[in-house]
Amino acid sequence: MDRKDGIGGRELTTKDLVEMYRLMLQSRCFTEQVLVWYEEGRLPQGLHPSVGQEAVGVGACYGLGPDDWVIPSLRTAEAFWTRGVTMLEQLNAMLGNAASVSRGKETSHHAGYPERGILAGTGIVGGSIPVAVGGALALKMRGSEGVMVSFFGDGASNRGDFHEALNLAAVLEAPVVFVCENNLYAQTVPAAVGMAIEDIADRAMGYGMPGRVVDGQDVVAVYAATQGAVGRARRGEGPTLLECKTYRFLPHYPIFEEKRPAEEIERWRERDPIEMLGRRLEEEGLLDEQGKLEMEEAIEAELQEAIGEAEGMPMPDPQEVFENVYREPVEAMGL
Ligand SMILES: Cc1ncc(C[n+]2csc(CCOP(=O)(O)OP(=O)(O)O)c2C)c(N)n1
Ligand SMILES: [Mg+2]
């Protein structure tokens, strides 16, 4: 099913809804636990918590196929879980151990897993948006059915990269879906200070592509909107901009002091995406309190086992530091 109004994707089954709930819960448990381990000095790296925003990454990635690609923002942890990356793999990446995907050269913030269709994001806010367009063009030129999904924040949408990328994508009809996670702040800067418009989706019109505002706390709404845009891109009709209105419940990064109004945070907490889907599942008799508890216990057990295994891994051999970085490292550097 893929309707003209941009709502698409196959009908979600009970199993799908429960799995979406589990993925969001896993993301929440992982983040909350990792922040504790970081505070305790057990992990050298913290993370940009996506707590409160879980519906965006899960909903947008859920219906993607093996030929599709995503580039997460530094906050889209859910893209990893939904594409099948394990908590152990991300813990290895955080520790930079010998089993980590980059063998210690990168943190989990910019991890890429090509075999799962995940391109590494860049450290430059907004920098991965033009990369996504390049990736989408590569898919088109190779005759692939694949679509690229690009995640970024409201702050990133004020940078030149965003505007150039959207223009080029529209002109070349690149198969890309731009998913803006509008959490109303860039670090500590309110969105209203950085832009004179209410809806980032309006910017799509200036480039000749559809733009839609989506309830980013409703995982099913994000799924349907993304699937509509993915269908369009697959048919060769070009890119779409989706603006998912959302909110992070925690500060930008662990070391940042909370400066946002307490009542604003409270208001958004009432629209917790996990609780919203949980309530629906309970009302429809699909998952009760006991089922939720068991799910959480299973996630916690996997997480505890994963940290033990990740910490037990040796560090990479220092000799490997130039591997897969420079073509001819030693000669090029005169060593
Ligand atoms: C070009 C650039 N400027 C500043 C930073 C530091 N920085 C990292 S995240 C961030 C905020 C980004 O805001 P937004 O795009 O809204 O994403 P969010 O963090 O809210 O998910 C900033 C300023 C950076 N990484 N790159
Ligand atoms: Mg933001």
Judging by beta carbons within 10 Å of its beta carbon (0-12, 13-18, 19+), is residue 87 exposed, middle or buried?
buried
Residues of the chain with pLDDT under 70: 1-6, 327-335
pLDDT score at 84:
97
Phi-psi region of 73 (alpha: psi -120 to 50; beta: other; left: phi over 0): beta
Cα torsion through 94, 95, 97, 102, rounded to 10: 20
Residue among 187, 256, 258 to mutate when testing ligand 1 (max atoms within 8 A of CB): 187
Query: Which ligand has an atom closest to residue 53 CA?
Result: 1
Class of domain 14-332: alpha beta
Look up residue 180 and give its two tokens: 């803006």
pLDDT score at 61:
98
**Could you read off the pLDDT of 251-304 as tens digits, one per residue?**
999 889 999 999 999 999 999 999 999 999 999 999 999 999 999 999 999 999
Write down how long the chain is: 335
Sheet of strand 148-153: strand arrangement = 69-71, 148-153, 176-182, 240-245, 211-215
Contact 47, 24 (CB under 8 A): no
Write the CB contacts of 262 (distance below 8 Å, at least 6 apart in sequence).
none
pLDDT score at 39:
94
DSSP conformational letter for 318: G
Look up residue 327 and give its two tokens: 């073509």
pLDDT score at 8:
76
Distance 183 CA to ligand 2 centre (A): 5
pLDDT score at 107:
86
Cα–Cα distances in angstroms (integers) from residue 260 to residues 51, 73, 155, 263, 273, in the given order: 15, 22, 16, 9, 20
**Could you read off the pLDDT of 173-196 as tens digits, one per residue?**
999 999 999 999 999 999 999 999
310, 307, 301, 299: which is closest to 100 by C-alpha?
Answer: 310
Query: Which ligand has an atom closest to residue 158 CA?
Result: 1
pLDDT score at 328:
66
Neighbours of 309 (CB within 10 A): 14
Phi-psi region of 112 (alpha: psi -120 to 50; beta: other; left: phi over 0): beta
- For atom 20 of ligand 1, the residue with the nearest CA is 186
Indicate whether residue 187 lines ligand 1 (CB < 6 A). Answer: yes
Distance 295 CA to ligand 2 centre (A): 30
CA distance 78 to 322: 31
Q: What helix, strand, coil percent values describe the chain, rounded to 5?
A: 50, 10, 40
Distance 323 CA to ligand 1 centre (A): 29
Indicate whether residue 193 lines ligand 1 (CB < 6 A). Answer: no
Cα torsion through 177, 325, 93, 40, rounded to 10: -120
CA distance 225 to 13: 17
> Rg of the Cα trace of the chain?
20
Instruction: Check: pTM over 0.85? Answer yes or no.
Output: yes
Write the CB contacts of 267 (distance below 8 Å, at least 6 apart in sequence).
none
Look up residue 64 and give its two tokens: 């993607």
DSSP conformational letter for 111: -
